[in-house]
Copies of this chain bind each other. A is one copy, B any other.
Amino acid sequence: MIYLDNAATTIHKPETVIEAVTEAMRHVGNSARGTHAGSLDAARIIFETRMKIASLFGCPDPTRVAFTCNITESLNIAINGLFSEGDHVITTMLEHNSVLRPLYRLEKERGIELSIVPADENGCICYDDFEKMIRPNTRAIVTTHISNLTGNMLDIARIGKIAHAHDLLYIVDAAQSAGNIPIDMAAMDIDVLCFTGHKGLYGPQGTGGLCVMPGVQIRPFKVGGTGVQTYLKKQPEDMPVRLEAGTMNAHGLAGLSAAVDFINETGVEEIHRHEMELMQLFYREVKEIDGVTVYGDFSGDRGAIVSINIRDYDSSEVSDCLMQDYEIATRPGAHCAPLMHEALGTTDQGAVRFSFSWFNTKDEVLDAIKAVRELSE
């Protein structure tokens, strides 16, 4: 199988990641719930992972990295824990439902106000819109880094600058960029960076987290056992236990730790370069094929995602054909990005998404181009 669904999850993990999880499952106990070797092993693995993640994303304090089971949980924690009645929040049409649904819920249940920066038919936004939308009660801007549908990249440093110029918080969904695009929270004016472990970081499923800049206080989402301050009726205030109730997934985090090592050894820039090369090759060829529509803006730096349609064929049928006849894994349909589909005009047809990773090869891309060419004929 040629796996080109890396924006959903990277199926090819570094061997060291698999080994780290396997090894952890043989000897790791419950972190912060004892002082024996098994428990200390878990605590050490988790703390090392916090340090590596903090360092990777430019978060100045590793204790302000909280782990979750996926980025949807991270975004729910950030959005639910920061906004209260009367707050106004600005987001964009590029967003995934993991951003939109938590915001829509707060709009309905907590009376927050929501403004959505529009995108054009190429999935591009106008950065001036953020400033135009700011109101006296605006509390934050929440955006993705890379659209999971078009691969368009937002200039998060620019948005962060706008946010901080107006004393707003800036929350970034790095689902499609963590591990393959350089991110520096401090330099880019990001207050909360949400990430997942199983995509561009090449870690196990069941891992993710959020990095929270010092001074930003997020109310706890889950509450419960922490192994510390047992007699407090509420969740302890200190990070990271403030946002981490219950037994941590030390098995998965051991894998994430090895995954960040792999990223650092390979180099984020090098990964990005390789993925861009594959993506650009695919884009250059398929855009010339008669009957193929390519979505998104390819004029600048971007993510390694190319979404297309072939004539008016149903995207699911095309994706099924690619799998059955060519053993090429893609993702069709709607991509949990309802407003992006509206902007592109693909709400009915959906789109066939090809997404590339470090482990894909040029030959695989050439096979995919050939398959698209044959299907369009």
Asked if B100 contacts A233 (CB within 8 A), the reply is yes
Q: How many identical subunits does the complex contain?
A: 2
Asked if A234 contacts B104 (CB within 8 A), the reply is yes
Asked if A323 contacts B8 (CB within 8 A), the reply is no
A198 to B69, CA, bound (A): 15
A334 interface residue, CB < 8 Å from B?
Answer: yes
Asked if A230 contacts B338 (CB within 8 A), the reply is yes
Asked if A17 contacts B9 (CB within 8 A), the reply is no
A35 interface residue, CB < 8 Å from B?
Answer: yes
Q: Provided the pairs A29-B329, A223-B101, A230-B337 are in contact, do residues A8 and B21 lie with their beta carbons within 8 angstroms?
A: no
Which size bracket describes the interface of A in this complex? Answer: 35 or more
Asked if A224 contacts B96 (CB within 8 A), the reply is yes
A196 to B224, CA, bound (A): 14
Measured CB to CB, the nearest residue on chain B to A337 is B230
A257 — which chain B residues lie within 8 A by C-beta? none
A36-87: which residues lie under 8 A (CB-CB) from chain B?
36-39, 68-73, 75-76
Q: Provided the pairs A36-B330, A226-B97 are in contact, do residues A72 and B247 lie with their beta carbons within 8 angstroms?
A: yes
A18 interface residue, CB < 8 Å from B?
Answer: yes
A222 — which chain B residues lie within 8 A by C-beta? 72-73, 76
A238-279: which residues lie under 8 A (CB-CB) from chain B?
245-252, 255
A370 interface residue, CB < 8 Å from B?
Answer: no
A336-367: which residues lie under 8 A (CB-CB) from chain B?
336-338, 341, 347
A331 interface residue, CB < 8 Å from B?
Answer: yes
Asked if A39 contacts B245 (CB within 8 A), the reply is no
A291 interface residue, CB < 8 Å from B?
Answer: no
> Closest CB of chain B to A250's CB: distance in Å?
6
Contact among B206, B223, B234 for A251, CB-based, below 8 A: B206
A336 — which chain B residues lie within 8 A by C-beta? 224-227, 230
Asked if A249 contacts B206 (CB within 8 A), the reply is yes
A101 — which chain B residues lie within 8 A by C-beta? 223-225, 233-235, 245
Q: Provided the pairs A245-B98, A249-B206 are in contact, do residues A105 and B234 lie with their beta carbons within 8 angstroms?
A: yes
Measured CB to CB, the nearest residue on chain B to A26 is B18
A35 to B332, CA, bound (A): 8
A73 to B227, CA, bound (A): 16
Asked if B72 contacts A245 (CB within 8 A), the reply is yes
Contact among B17, B224, B233 for A76, CB-based, below 8 A: B224
A311-336: which residues lie under 8 A (CB-CB) from chain B?
316, 319-320, 323, 329-336
Asked if A231 contacts B98 (CB within 8 A), the reply is no
Residues in A lying within 8 Å of B, measured CB to CB: 1, 3, 5, 8-9, 11, 13, 17-18, 21-22, 25-30, 33-39, 68-73, 75-76, 96-102, 104-105, 108, 196, 198, 204-207, 221-227, 230-231, 233-235, 245-252, 255, 316, 319-320, 323, 329-338, 341, 347
In addition to A8-B33, A11-B29, A70-B249, 18 A-B residue pairs with Cβ atoms within 8 Å of each other are: A3-B29, A5-B34, A9-B247, A21-B22, A34-B331, A35-B320, A36-B323, A68-B69, A69-B249, A70-B246, A72-B246, A100-B233, A101-B223, A101-B235, A196-B247, A204-B252, A225-B336, A226-B336
The 3 lowest CB-CB distance pairs between A and B, nearest first, are: A72-B246, A206-B249, A36-B329
Please list 20 pairs of residues, one from A and one from B, whose beta carbons are closer than 8 Å in the complex, sorted by A's number.
A1-B36, A9-B33, A18-B25, A29-B329, A35-B319, A35-B323, A36-B330, A36-B331, A69-B69, A69-B249, A72-B224, A73-B222, A98-B245, A98-B246, A101-B224, A102-B223, A205-B247, A230-B335, A230-B338, A252-B252
